[in-house]
Amino acid sequence: MLSRVDVNELPTPALVVHASTLGRNLATMARTHPGARLRPHVKAHKCTALAHMQRNFHPGFTCATVRETVGLARVGLGDDLLLANEVVDPARLAELASLTSLGARVTIAVDSTVTIDAAAAAGLRECVIDVNVGMPRCGCALEDAGRLADHARRSGLGVRGVMGYEGHLVLVDDRSLRESAVEGAMRLLLDAHDAVGGELVTAGGTGTSDVNTWATEIQAGSYALMDTKYATLGLPFELALCVVATVVSVSAGGTVASGGWAVSDAGLKSFGMDHGDPAIEDAIVWACSDEHTIFSAHTTRTPRVGDRIRMWPAHIDPTVAYHERMYVVDDTDTVIDEWSVDLRGW
Ligand SMILES: Cc1ncc(COP(=O)(O)O)c(C=O)c1O
C-alpha cells in the first residue's frame, strides 16, 4: 500500500484504476442485474480485491481458468463458482474438487462424455451442460444436450442447467440487431434447457447484458473496468482503467501539424491488441511495438520527453493479464491502493 503517491510518480507502464468510476460501474450493473441475476466473470480483471467489491452485490462468480476458481475459493469467495470452461487435466480437476474442504461450491462446464467422465472421476459434484449457441468454440450441439445431461447424472454429477455463451454477438453495435440475434441464440439455449433441466440458464457478456432477458443469469465481466471497444456500444459503463505511460522520445515536434511523432514506453506487451490499438486522448496512434507506442499529438503543444500520458486499452481482459498489479486512484489522482492481479496464469 502506497501513501500519498501521485499517479504521475508511478513507475510506468502502470495499470491504473479510477476508483469512483469503477464504483459507478459496479453500482449501475447491480441496479439492472441485482444479486444472482449477475454472475460476474473474473477473467476481465483477475483480481480478488475487485472480486470482493463485486461480492457485495452478487453471490456467485464465473471463472475461465482453474487458477481463477482456486484463487477465489482461497480468499473466501467460493460460495458459488462456475468454471465456464472445459477441463480434462486430472490433477487440475482434483484441485477443483478439493475446494469443497474450503466450503466452496464448484460447478464446471462440460460438453462431451470425456469432460463429464474426467470431472466425475476427479470427484467434482456439479456441472452445467455447455451448448453451442452460434459461436464456434466450446459447447455441444443442441441435439446432444439431453443425452449428455443423462450421462452426467448417471456418472454422479448434479446437473444445474445449461450454459451458452453468445460471444459472437457481444460486439454487434446496432442494439436492435444485437437483441434479435441474442433472442435467436437464447431460444436455442432454452430448447437445450428443456432437454437438460436444472435451475440455471447461464449466458451473456457485457455487450449483451442490456438485451439478454432470456438467461437466468448473465456472466458479464468487462463492465467493471471497460475498454474502448465496448465503449462504442453505448452501454451505461465508463472507462475505469488506463495504462499510464511515459513519453521517452519525441521526433520532429511530435504533433500532427509538425509532421512529427512521440513514443511512449508502453507497447504491445502492456496491452491486449486483438481489438485494436490503445487510444490516447487528443492524439493519433500510429503503431505499437513490444515496448513502444508511436503517436502524434493533435494539439500544437509539443509532447515532451518525460510527459506522462494515459493510454486506454481496446480489450480489457488480455491487457490486465499482462500486469502484476493495478494502482487505484481517487478523484485527485492520488494512489489510494495497490491491488495484486493475483488470479493471473492458469
Ligand atoms: C464464457 C464467457 N462468458 C462470459 C464472457 C463475458 O465477458 P465480457 O463481460 O467481457 O463480455 C466471456 C468473455 O469472453 C466468456 O468467455
Instruction: Give me ligand 1 centre to Cα 49, in Å.
Output: 20
Q: Does ligand 1 come within 6 angstroms of the Cβ of 40?
A: no
To test the pocket of ligand 1, the residue of 68, 219, 228 to mutate (highest count of ligand atoms within 8 Å of its CB) is 219
Q: Does ligand 1 come within 6 angstroms of the Cβ of 165?
A: yes
Instruction: Give me ligand 1 centre to Cα 112, in Å.
Output: 21
To test the pocket of ligand 1, the residue of 133, 165, 201 to mutate (highest count of ligand atoms within 8 Å of its CB) is 165
**Grid coordinates standing for 184?**
435467436
Q: What is the pLDDT of residues 100-145, one digit of tens each?
A: 999 999 999 999 999 999 999 999 999 999 999 999 999 999 999 9
Instruction: Rounding to the nearest 10 degrees, give the CA dihedral for residues 246, 249, 253, 255.
Output: -50
Query: Nearest residue CA, atom 8 of ligand 1?
Result: 205
The CA distance from 198 to 160, in Å, is 5
pLDDT for position 300: 73
Per-position pLDDT tens, the chain of length 346: 445 799 999 999 999 999 999 999 999 999 999 999 999 999 999 999 999 999 999 999 999 999 999 999 999 999 999 999 999 999 999 999 999 999 999 999 999 999 999 999 999 999 999 999 999 999 999 999 999 999 999 999 999 999 999 999 999 999 999 999 999 999 999 999 999 999 999 999 999 999 999 999 999 999 999 999 999 999 999 999 999 999 999 999 999 999 999 999 999 999 999 999 999 999 999 999 999 999 999 987 789 999 999 999 999 999 999 999 999 999 999 999 999 999 999 9
Residues of the chain above pLDDT 70, percent = 99
Closest approach atom of ligand 1 to CA 316: 10
The CA distance from 117 to 101, in Å, is 22
The CA distance from 329 to 185, in Å, is 40
Instruction: Give me ligand 1 centre to Cα 245, in Å.
Output: 28
Q: Does ligand 1 come within 6 angstroms of the Cβ of 202?
A: no
Q: What are phi and psi of 216, to 5 degrees?
A: -75, -25
Instruction: Give me ligand 1 centre to Cα 98, in Å.
Output: 26
Q: Does ligand 1 come within 6 angstroms of the Cβ of 119?
A: no
Q: Does ligand 1 come within 6 angstroms of the Cβ of 270?
A: no
Within 13 Å, how many C-alpha atoms sit on residue 8's CB side?
6
**Grid coordinates standing for 319?**
491487457
pTM over 0.75: yes
Q: Does ligand 1 come within 6 angstroms of the Cβ of 219?
A: yes
pLDDT for position 197: 98
106: exposed, middle or buried (Cβ count in 10 Å: 0-12, 13-18, 19+): buried
Which amino acid, one-letter code, is at 17?
Answer: V
pLDDT for position 3: 59
The CA distance from 200 to 57, in Å, is 19
- β-strand partners of 244: 14, 310
To test the pocket of ligand 1, the residue of 65, 170, 317 to mutate (highest count of ligand atoms within 8 Å of its CB) is 170
pLDDT for position 299: 83
